A and B are shown apart, each in its own frame.
Chain A
Amino acid sequence: MSVLDDYMVHPGLSLLDKTRIQAQVLVPLLQALRAELGRQRADAIVRQALRDWSKQVFAAVGNGVDGGPRRKWAAMHTALADVTEREVTVEMRRHDAEALEFDVTACRFAEFFRALGEPDLGALLICETDFDIVAAGAGEVGLTRDQTIMQGAPRCTFRYRFAPR
């Protein structure tokens, strides 16, 4: 059992495969929207819809975890790491009571969405999730991430900060 079982829908499927299935219907719909509305408006509507959806999904998951913000974040962060770690290469830089800092130097999610020519969709479905999970740790966990591979950078720079206990 994982706190993300419902989010994953099917326990035997990897997050990358789940996201590939969703992209198969989302990309044609996005293309149809762009043809009808123009790229800027279509992308803005999809962005808002997927951000709102993702925030709601992870807020609901967080509500189901017992404990304070730090504990909620930790439970969700660990569960997400369990389903993403096979797709990424991580260089740990710092892990102590005050901070967790690591770089992702290779990412199959980014490879997939960049090959499709839809990195913004990939960011909405994958990268933004980290901030929705941080929201569950509000006040006790913060994240800055200046760049991501999905955006075209050579590495993603995850810098978590923890409030003193």
Chain B
Amino acid sequence: MTDTSDLPISHLQRRKIEGRVLIPLVETLRQKLGDEVAGEILDATIRRLAVGDGQRWAETYGQGMEALKRVAEDVWAGGGGMDLQVKGQSEQHLDFDVTRCGYAEFYQALGLAVLGYRIHCNRDHAMVTGFDDKLELSRSQTIMQGADHCDFRYRSRS
């Protein structure tokens, strides 16, 4: 598929453009196929795309915690997409909180936070496996789900 990573728009704008057409399509899929089947197909597709994003970002930024932090700061938060605070970092770990999230604001404004979690937040675990399979993410809460911040905690398996 033709790469569009060179386009001069923020990651948040890109996700909004995708969402314009993805949201009504997913709604039709839920009506036609039921929540369970539609959800499984959507999740599998998002996982596949997220692994591909991770691989592509690793080619651009490299692997490891420092590169991962740059992805979060430059790509996800680029253009004001989100505010994040780094709480701690070493070669073995990266902890940051997201304190404002434009992605969550977009889906919450549409009354679609559950779908937003599925399309957006859910991809972060799969992204890490494509980016650097020695890293893993744990996260106990997200703004999309109603929390006041998201707690991203990355650890190296080694």
List residues of chain A with CB under 8 Å of any chain B CB: 9-10, 12-13, 17-18, 20-29, 32-33, 36-37, 45-46, 48-50, 52-53, 112, 115-116, 125
Contact = CB atoms under 8 A, between A and B. Distances in A.
Given A18-B17, A52-B24, A52-B28, A112 B37 contact: no
B59 interface: no
Contact of A45 (B16, B24, B32): B32
A36 B41 contact: yes
Interface in B12-48: 13-14, 16-18, 20-22, 24-25, 27-29, 32-33, 37, 41-42, 44-45, 48
Interface of B: 1-2, 4, 7-9, 13-14, 16-18, 20-22, 24-25, 27-29, 32-33, 37, 41-42, 44-45, 48-49
A21 B8 CA distance: 12
Contacts of B29: 33, 45, 49
A52 B106 CA distance: 22
A29 B4 contact: no
B41 A10 contact: no
19 contacts: A9-B16, A9-B20, A10-B16, A21-B7, A21-B14, A22-B17, A22-B18, A23-B1, A28-B48, A29-B25, A29-B42, A37-B33, A46-B25, A49-B24, A49-B29, A50-B21, A50-B24, A52-B28, A125-B21
